[in-house]
Amino acid sequence: MRPEHGPNNSSAVIFGCLGTSLSDDERRFYRDCNPLGFILFARNCETPEQIYALVNEMRASVGRDDAPVLIDQEGGRVQRLKPPIWSQYLSARQLVERTRSAHPQDLAKAVYLNARLIASDLAELGIDVNCTPVLDVPDAGSHAVVGDRAYSDDPLEVTVMGRSVCDGMFAGGIMPVIKHIPGHGRARVDSHEELPVVTAPVSELEQVDFTPFRQLADMPWGMTCHLMYPAFDPEHPATHSKIIIKDIIRGFIGFDGVLCTDDLSMKALGGSFREKSERALAAGCDLALHCNGDMVEMTAVAEGVGALTNTSLSRLKRGEIMRNQRRDSNSFDIQAARVRLDELTGGPVG
């Protein structure tokens, strides 16, 4: 057990949990390995009161009130907080298409309001990091794992919509996470099940797939994709590739924020769970992410990660400064925002 818990000696990992409250075993495990933070899934979410209590339990287990708690609340298919308690939000593509039909000049405004409403939902529960926006640019024939989670097949439109999402999240006090860097849009298979291989020319990747990430490289958090890009590294997927992280993500794209892996339990990555986490951090990721709450897997992941590096700590601190600076100090009228969003999208969202 670590003698003193704090961000400076946290393990470079984000963990999930199995249920709606922590078991004694989970509480002991988190106390001993001191992960930087946690992530919630639908299995963890029943009522506002229960989620708020779970978030507090998680933070208490590591002795840090500011331990980040993540969630994927995009809207559409990827929405962990569900009706009837929470609103059903449109997918990224639905939001853009419906607004384009009703008020095409207000696309960015609709996307901002949608994000701001989601941020309000999360803030009430104590959740402070949302793994959105999706900046992937779908390609013809790509797998539906991205599909309508993408705002557009135009990289410049994806850029504008992604910026609006980040602005809405920041205004509500929520940290956005751009994903899946450097781009999941050309995947022909689901990376949850197998490793996609992207064979597009470098020039095409630079002009299309990398563009939204490059334009939003100033954002404080990003999430990798488990895709193979043989044009850059024929041996390792992006999450495990020193070449892609150094030359593409940190280099060409220019992203210098907190780089978190996509879920290590996805089948696109080979090796043991200890090896998966070791390889990700050795390649240059700041944080490993493991989501399913399986104790055996988490134990192995914990063995493969060390404490946060000074560079990672610096990136985390810069992100907090940005979030605090961009938080909206004015009161937010939730009901008025919902009415306006319904107007912009041509009818009630849900």
Q: 130-175, pLDDT tens digit by residue? A: 999 999 999 988 887 898 999 999 999 999 999 999 999 999 999 9
Catalytic residue among 25, 192, 218, 333: 192
In a domain, 228, yes or no: yes
Domain-embedded: residue 316:
yes
Q: φ and ψ at 126, to 5 degrees?
A: 85, 5
- Check: CB of residue 220 under 8 Å from CB of residue 174: no
**Backbone angles phi and psi of 39, in degrees to 5:** -135, 140
Give the pLDDT confidence score for residue 292 in this predicted structure.
97
Q: Indicate if 192 belongs to the active site.
A: yes
Number of domains in the chain: 1
Q: What is the pLDDT of residue 6?
A: 54
- Token representation of residue 335: 């009901």
From the list 39, 51, 135, the residue with the least C-alpha distance to 86 is: 51
Three-class secondary structure assignment of 252-263? HCCCCCEEEEEE
Geometric angle at alpha carbon 73, from 300 and 39, rounded to 5°:
25
pLDDT tens digit at each of 350 positions of the chain: 343 445 678 999 999 999 999 999 999 999 999 999 999 999 999 999 999 999 999 999 999 999 999 999 999 999 999 999 999 999 999 999 999 999 999 999 999 999 999 999 999 999 999 999 999 999 988 887 898 999 999 999 999 999 999 999 999 999 999 999 999 999 888 788 889 999 999 999 999 999 999 999 999 999 999 999 999 999 999 999 999 999 999 999 999 999 999 999 998 899 999 999 999 999 999 999 999 999 999 999 999 999 999 999 999 999 999 999 999 988 999 999 999 999 999 987 65
The pLDDT, as a whole number, for residue 2 is 40
Of 123, 182, 157, nearest to 323 by C-alpha is 123
Model pLDDT for residues 261-273, shown as the tens digit of each residue: 999 999 889 999 9
- What CA–CA distance (Å, rounded) separates 60 from 62? 5
pLDDT computed for residue 142 by the predictor: 81
Q: Is residue 286 in a domain? A: yes
Helix (H) or strand (E) run with residue 327 in it: none
Q: What are phi and psi of 139, to 5 degrees?
A: -115, 155
- Domain, as residue range, for 225: 10-345
Tokens of 104: 């095409």
* Alpha helix stretches (DSSP H) within 180-287: 202-204, 211-215, 242-243, 273-283
In whole angstroms, give the CA distance from residue 240 to residue 162.
Answer: 25
Rounded distance between C-alpha atoms, residue 333 and residue 349, angstroms: 17
Q: What is the pLDDT of residue 256?
A: 98
SS3 (DSSP) at 244: helix
pLDDT at 188: 81
Is 4 contained in some domain? Answer: no
Q: Read off the CATH number of the domain in which 45 is found.
A: 3.20.20.300
Q: Which residue has the tokens 């897997």?
A: 297
User: In whole angstroms, what is the distance from residue 7 CA to residue 310 CA?
Assistant: 11
Residue 127: predicted pLDDT: 98
Indicate whether 350 belongs to any domain.
no
Which residue is listed with tokens 């990289």?
Answer: 155
Q: Among residues 128, 262, 263, 286, which one is catalytic?
A: 262
152 in any annotated domain: yes
The continuous run of DSSP H or E covering 298 comes out as helix 295-304
Helix (H, G, I), strand (E, B) or coil at 290: strand
Q: Does residue 310 belong to any structural domain of this protein?
A: yes
Q: Is 262 a catalytic residue?
A: yes
Cβ-Cβ contacts under 8 Å for 170 (sequence gap 6 or more)? 176, 322, 323, 326, 327, 328
pLDDT of res. 4? 47
Tell me, yes or no, whether 56 lies in a domain. Answer: yes
State the pLDDT at residue 350.
54
